[in-house]
Amino acid sequence: MKKIIQVVLALCMAMVLFTGCNSKKEEKDTVNTGKQTETADKNQNEKTDDKTSPVIIKTVIKDMSSDDEVSVKFLEKVSEGVSKQLGREVKIELAPISEGTYSESLGLLIQSGVIPDLMYFQGGDYQFAITQGILEDLRPYIEESTYVKSLIQPYNKARLENYPYLLWLAPDRIKVPVVRQDWLDGSETGKALLENPTPENYKEFFKELVKQHNLLSAYTVPGDITELDTVFNLAFGVTQTWVMEGDSYVYSKVSQATKDKLGFYAELYKEGLLDKEWISKKWDTKESAFYNGEVGVVAGTQGSVVNVYNNKMTGQNGESAKLAVLPPAKGVAQGYTPSDVSKESRGWAINAYSENKDVAFAILEYMASPEGQVLDKLGYEDEHYTKEGEQYKLTDKIGEWWPRFHESIYQFEANFAPETPYYSQAAEKALDMVVQYSSFDNSFVIPDDYATNWDAQEALYAEFAAEVINGNRSIDEFDTYVKEWYALGGTEITEYANEVLNK
């Protein structure tokens, strides 16, 4: 018995020693930053300073997978270009992420401690990433860059100052209203609308469209009124998220300006000018209603989305059905939706604890270069385009391609054959119109302490607005809604807003 006990004790001691050694080994192989714990790839890190060894950059990119041949081929091409630019071999590899929505899958990945060198964020930057301090301040890299810096727009610059961790070189996601050019030209009210786009002139134009083309309605939106607001908000005085009433700021959605605007929307609905099914419309049904001639006007994001709308409309209805961009309504002020410059809502981030931050940024720099932009925007020669001298001619396969890195065409000076322009006239006009009618919002990131109440307040507004527009509640109940909004924490968030905005 004594011997058995001695054997058991010896085994236990051996297990303790083994576990202790293992723990020490794991501790040694783990980089503890004080804000995060991430497993270090020792072999890769030891080779980072060896100029003859390839630098491996781990990345995650939406809609790209290591199991997808198109993704792999594209990143091989990008790797070749970056390697040539740096004078050393770089290999870009996609880190696998779980199934589900992209934002959730990326969130799970970084919370597990596997943090890629270069990451595309969409749908938020995750509180985990902020509290753990894993995102690199990109401003020093941008300042030293050549190509990235040349593509920075005023709204990019403002967002980077407020939140320097995400870079997204693309036209701002501002929506503009569009209509068939032949319908605009053939209307009696179109000229007055273009010369003086007041809400009343918009209403008259809507009435004529419905009558002349036997439409179900003049305007439709996919489930909420954001795409109406981009046309009419400023005209009614909803010029920013927080507007001045008296000597202090109030939330625009409880302002007199919003009351006036909702009353106007209710009139559009009652008169059959706003789609009766707007609240149940989805993106696809909204767009099909537009192409099929059931509605006359919709809003689309400037640039790429307007380009898609134009190409689909002309493809289905002929070249005469090309799109025209309409101006924002004019009243108290005039403009499309102001740019939110509190931060980027999506974009590229670099792991602050990566061993290869400079190389990760060099990828973004290469893709902003003339050569990188051609690859990013046009795909592969003899497949997505052909080239005669310095002129690019796009093939039918260009419709299968989209930019993976930088969507911006600012200073993209490729010379295209007239018969295959990169953007349609409507898409280019949309970009110009947004510049003409641009402004900055004064919104700010809502602190966590107010977030729950804020969500409830937003839900309250959405419900009230829908009921007023659909005629289920009177606009005269606006004051009751405002009291409910303040009771849900509106007083506290308004006080906080005035502290922030009056600094």
H or E, element range at 176: strand 175-180
Q: What's the average model confidence in pLDDT over 412-419?
A: 93
According to CATH, the topology of domain 37-171+344-374 is D-Maltodextrin-Binding Protein; domain 2 (3.40.190)
Total-model pTM:
0.81
Residue 413 pLDDT exceeds 50: yes
Q: What pLDDT digit, counting tens, does each position of 104-115 carry?
A: 899 889 888 899
Separation in Å, CA 443 to CA 106, 250, 414: 26, 12, 36
Q: What pLDDT digit, counting tens, does each position of 71-103 carry?
A: 999 999 999 999 999 999 999 999 998 888 898
Q: Which of 26-35, 349-358, 461-470 has the lowest mean pLDDT?
A: 26-35
pLDDT of residue 44: 45
Q: What's the average model confidence in pLDDT over 50-72?
A: 90
pLDDT of residue 14: 39
Q: Determine contact, residues 246/337, Cβ cutoff 8 Å.
A: no
The tokens for 140 are: 């020093």
According to CATH, the topology of domain 175-338+441-449 is D-Maltodextrin-Binding Protein; domain 2 (3.40.190)
Q: What pLDDT digit, counting tens, does each position of 233-268 carry?
A: 999 999 999 999 999 999 999 999 999 999 999 999
Cα(349)–Cα(139) distance, integer angstroms: 12
Residue 28 pLDDT exceeds 50: no
Residue with tokens 């600012």: 410
Q: Determine contact, residues 268/295, Cβ cutoff 8 Å.
A: no
Q: What's the average model confidence in pLDDT over 277-293?
A: 96
- Domain ranges across the chain: 37-171+344-374, 175-338+441-449
Q: Determine contact, residues 218/238, Cβ cutoff 8 Å.
A: no
pLDDT of residue 399: 85
Find residue 60's DSSP bridge partners.
119
Residue 29 pLDDT exceeds 60: no
Residue 45 pLDDT exceeds 80: no
Query: Are 37-171+344-374 and 175-338+441-449 in the same CATH fold?
Result: yes
Q: What's the average model confidence in pLDDT over 290-311?
A: 95
